[in-house]
Amino acid sequence: MSHHCNNFKQMMSRRDMLAKCANGFGGLALTSLLSDKAFGNVLGQADEPIVGQGRRDMIPRPGNLPAKAKSVIFLYMDGGPSQVDTFDYKPLLRKYHGQDPAKVIGKIDATQFGNNGTIYGSPWEFQQHGQSGLWVSELFPKVAEMADDLCVINSMVAKFPEHTQANYFLHSGHGLQGRPSMGAWVGYGLGSLNQDLPGFVVLNGGLIPPGGVDCFGSGFLPATYQGNIFAPSAPYLSNINPVEKIASLQTKKLDLISAVDAAYSESLGGQVDAIDSAIQNYEMAFRMQSAVPELLDFGQETEECKELYGFDSKREGAATFGRQCLLARRMVERGVRFIELTCPPVTSDRWDQHGSLEKGHEANAGAVDQGIAGLLKDLKRRGLLDETLVVWGGEFGRTPFAQGANGRDHNPSGFTMWMAGGGIKGGMSYGSTDEWGYRVADKKVDIHDLHATILHQLGIDHKKLTYRFSGRDIRLTDVHGHVIRKILA
């Protein structure tokens, strides 16, 4: 219908109306998605700077580089595994076994205990594995099956020969207590892809390392980013089940606590981290009461999968570590950014064999070998290894000569770590120690380089992830660190 004054337009048909409104419907759907913190912030704030003073939420944030990995699983081998008995094959040690290291090696650095014995050839056989031909000792028969996915870095160095300082350095890039752990830095920089679970989780096998829980702390970053520690067995977390019979009663209690805390914070001028982070953590704990029971429901997994991880293993500690590895995979699937696993206690206690090397290393390797291999295989077959960076290693290595008769002392001058997945080349070794496995001879990699590379794969330029503290902009890598570009896929 029309009118000569054009005051009336012809009415639209139903088909015309749907065609013209289609974009509007899409806009409504997009608005709904953008209101979800775990979706909208990624799309809506791509230019957000990495520096975020005062920020304490876990809303996902983009990095400033193209990301190859979404999550990190750090397999922390507490105590310092011996590189020359695991992944750094040195046949010369057997040839000169029992001889004076000062005569065949030359200058010997001071050791932690000063009880140096003779050259100690590895008690374990080495073989080449996979198409890549990587050398792996018989301590890790199952991990060896994944050789073509490993990037073995044989040229690591650390700055400290003592456990506590070396642990702080490995975790925080600083040898003293009080700096944020790398997991906390990742949460600060990127937030979490799951608002119902922490961004940084420590799956404790039963041994808290020297240095204590500060190895997993947030330091001067807001406490929201500190590691959340899960126990090695049920109930895994305290207070995971609400005590209130009625959900609304718990909600009212939390609302009251938040209101009181917020009022107190406001009376102090606002932005009081201890209070504001406590509020955030209360809210996270409430959401975890719904999310964690489902996360921990291993009944959702097949028997084949549980067997792959070693749930039925008779080796001491292996079933515990296998559960940790499977739980790590389930966390990756649910968007947790940084997951660290600590070792289970075995008869010999940690990888720190100052004596009885054979007994201790066999026990520790036996506890973790199947779980690690199962994790790598499971991630790979599910298509998750490409976007998950797996890192293995301890705070330093061990000497190629004995401590006393049958142990090895600490050695920060050359040791091994490996990485897999997350945009890292597989089936390669990088760098080398000398012919004794004592000091780095080629392509030295320090802990700052390791941290820089981890952040790079997550999409963060380590030089631009900073936090203002004590009058300067501090970063995980301090004023050091270079990305190990030759290992990037």
pLDDT digit string, tens, across residues 135-168: 999 999 999 999 999 999 999 999 999 999 999 9
% residues pLDDT > 90 (the chain): 74
Q: What pTM value is reported for the model?
A: 0.88
Residue 5 has pLDDT above 70, yes or no: no
Token pair 């506890």: residue: 367
Residue 24 has pLDDT above 80, yes or no: no
For residue 40, name the pLDDT band (cuts at 50, 70, 90). very low
Contact indicator for 84, 398 with CB cutoff of 8 Å: yes
User: Could you say which DSSP state residue 181 is in?
Assistant: P
Residue 335 has pLDDT above 80, yes or no: yes
Q: What is the pLDDT of residue 393?
A: 98
Residue 45 has pLDDT above 90, yes or no: no
**Radius of gyration of the chain from Cα atoms?**
26
Residue 474 has pLDDT above 80, yes or no: yes
Among 33-42, 170-179, 288-297, 324-333, which is the least confidently predicted range? 33-42
C-alpha dist (Å) from residue 403 to 15, 378, 411: 85, 39, 11
Among 117-121, 196-200, 289-293, 304-308, which is the least confidently predicted range? 289-293
* Burial state string for 462-480 with b = 16 or more CB within 10 A and e = fewer than 16: bebbbbeeeeeebbbbeee
CA distance linking residue 322 with residue 310, whole number of Å: 5
Of residues 267 and 211, which shows the higher confidence score? 211
pLDDT tens-place string over residues 347-394: 777 999 999 999 999 999 999 999 999 999 999 999 999 999 999 999
pLDDT (average), residues 106-127: 96
For residue 271, name the pLDDT band (cuts at 50, 70, 90). confident
pLDDT (average), residues 453-462: 98
Cβ-proximal residues to 214 (8 Å cutoff; 6+ apart), any chain: 168, 177, 178
Domains of the chain: 71-236+296-487 (3.40.720.10)
Residue 15 has pLDDT above 70, yes or no: no
User: Could you say which DSSP state residue 384 is in?
Assistant: -
For residue 50, name the pLDDT band (cuts at 50, 70, 90). low
270 CB neighbour count, 10 Å cutoff: 11
Residue 173 has pLDDT above 60, yes or no: yes
Q: What is the pLDDT of residue 428?
A: 98
Q: What is the pLDDT of residue 48?
A: 46
Q: What is the pLDDT of residue 383?
A: 98
Among 30-39, 196-205, 416-425, 475-484, which is the least confidently predicted range? 30-39
pLDDT tens-place string over residues 246-263: 878 878 888 888 788 888
CA distance linking residue 152 with residue 420, whole number of Å: 9
